[in-house]
Amino acid sequence: MAGSGRKLVHFGPRQVLPCPQLPYNQDVNRGIRLVILLFGPPGCGKGTQGQLILDWLPARIPAISTGEMLRAEIAAGSPLGVQTKSIIEAGVLVSDDLVNQVLRARISRPDCENGFLLDGYPRTVEQAEYLDHVLAERGMPPPVVLHLDVAADVLVGRMMSRRHCSKCNRMYNVLTMKPKTEGICDDDGAPLITRGDDREDVIRDRLQTYADVTRPVLSHYPHDRYFQIPGERSTHYVFEEITEILERFLAEEAAIEHPASASTAMSLPPATSAPGATAGSHTTSVPPAASVLSATSVTDQL
Ligand SMILES: [Zn+2]
């Protein structure tokens, strides 16, 4: 990820500020549509940022993950759900085609009218192309891709400092969330343990797989809608950078909905390119990793 040759977006020196004010009245449903794709390796803080984004946006949009989508479809007992269930029970990989169909059904629901935030999809270039197609078909704007990038060494450090209570499973971190007494759970006094999958080699393997699978998908998106965000800083700094990016796209949407009122709202230049328009300009430094896609297992999807 780091050193992939991808252009890093700089916003210059920043101050610690409260969340920026949106340039329009939040009480009015203005038909803002925003599709956000959140990418980032395990441990990058994606879940936290995703929730902050949802709380900050002027319109309510749902967060959708592939696993939740598949589970919901199974729970609903729909024909797609029945098919998904039988495939998973057979231990077979959930195909792009099936995941795509489930996604299409999910984003056709009314709660996705203003857009949605996707986490864990698309996972392959085929899925990315399918998403472009469905969005265009539904008159939705192309996605804004937010990639929280954190160096492997930092992630390894973060994850290796995790400890779990051997009794209640409460999570601690010896660097950032220490127990009151070293090695002992605050709640029940049981000893804290390190999980097997928090071993360095296991973590590095997982991060490498993530990078290999994600790289070609990220390359699919044009550079004016793709944002690599250094995720090593505090939650607040990362979120501030995200809101600056999203404000620009919200202003664009506002300009489409209300051309007169939005003309003075934002001074940032609009990003008007169609998806794929500039895709060729930033794909050369990214080697294909198609062979890794077969490693995407059912458990990854769930
Ligand atoms: Zn405990």
Q: Does 46 participate in catalysis according to the annotation?
A: yes
Position 83, amino acid: Q
Q: Note the pLDDT tens digit of each residue in 24-82.
A: 334 344 467 999 999 999 889 898 999 999 999 988 999 998 888 888 889 999 998 99
Q: What is the pLDDT of residue 254?
A: 82
Q: Give me the pLDDT at residue 67, please.
A: 84
Catalytic residue among 6, 33, 46, 225: 46
Residue 241 and residue 101: Cα distance in Å, rounded?
33
Question: Is 24 inside a domain boundary?
Answer: no
Cα-to-centroid distance, 169 and ligand 1 (Å): 6
Q: How many domains in the chain?
A: 1
The CATH number of residue 78's host domain is: 3.40.50.300
Please check whether residue 262 lies inside any domain of the structure: yes
Q: From the candidates 33, 158, 162, 163, which is the catalytic residue?
A: 162
Would you say residue 186 lies in a domain?
Answer: no
- Rounded to two decimals, the pTM is 0.70
| 265 in a structural domain | yes
Residue 267 within any structural domain of the chain: yes
* Residue 272 resides in a domain: yes
Task: Assess if residue 142 is contained within a domain.
Answer: yes
Domain boundaries, position 228: 34-156+201-301
pLDDT, tens only, 128-175: 999 999 999 999 999 999 999 999 999 998 888 889 999 999 999 998
**Share above pLDDT 70 across residues of the chain, in percent, rounded to a whole number:** 75
First to last CA, the chain: 24
Residue 176: inside a domain, yes or no?
no
pLDDT computed for residue 242 by the predictor: 97
Output b/e per residue, 280-298; b: 16+ Cβ within 10 A. eebbeeeeebeebbeebeb
How far, in Å, is the centroid of ligand 1 from the Cα of 31? Answer: 47
Write phi, then psi, for 124 (nearest 5 degrees): -135, 165
Instruction: For residues 221 and 237, give the distance between their C-alpha atoms in angstroms, rounded to a whole number.
Output: 24
Range from 128-137, 234-243, 289-298 carrying the lowest mean pLDDT: 289-298
Catalytic site includes residue 206 = yes
The pLDDT value given to residue 195: 84
